[in-house]
Amino acid sequence: MITYFASTLPHLSPTSEPPMTEAAFLEAARAVLSPQDVAPLEALATGDGSDHPFVVAWRHFDTQFHNAVATARAAKLGADATHFLHAHAGWDVSAERAIAEAFQERDPLKRDDLLSLVRFRKADELAGPTPLTLASLLAYSVRLSLLALRARRNPEKGRTRRSAHLASLSADPFPIIE
With a cut of 90, say whether residue 61 has pLDDT above it. yes
Give 14's pLDDT tier (boundaries 50, 70, 90).
very high
* Amino acid 177: pLDDT: 66
Q: State which residues form the domain around 145.
A: 8-153
**Please, which residues have CB within 8 angstroms of residue 18's CB and are 6 or more apart in sequence?**
12, 144, 147, 148, 151
Has residue 175 been placed in a domain?
no
Has residue 137 been placed in a domain?
yes
* Amino acid 164: pLDDT: 81
Has residue 14 been placed in a domain?
yes
H-run or E-run covering 53: helix 53-77
Distance CA 153, CA 172 (A): 31
pTM passes above 0.95: no
**Number of domains the chain contains:** 1
Has residue 64 been placed in a domain?
yes
Has residue 74 been placed in a domain?
yes
Q: Are 36 and 48 in contact (CB under 8 A)?
A: no
* Amino acid 77: pLDDT: 87
Please indicate whether residue 52 or residue 166 has the higher confidence score (pLDDT): 52
Has residue 2 been placed in a domain?
no
User: By C-alpha distance, which of 100, 72, 98, 103 is closest to 85?
Assistant: 72
* Amino acid 168: pLDDT: 75
How much is the mean pLDDT over the chain?
A: 92
* Amino acid 101: pLDDT: 96
Has residue 178 been placed in a domain?
no
Has residue 92 been placed in a domain?
yes
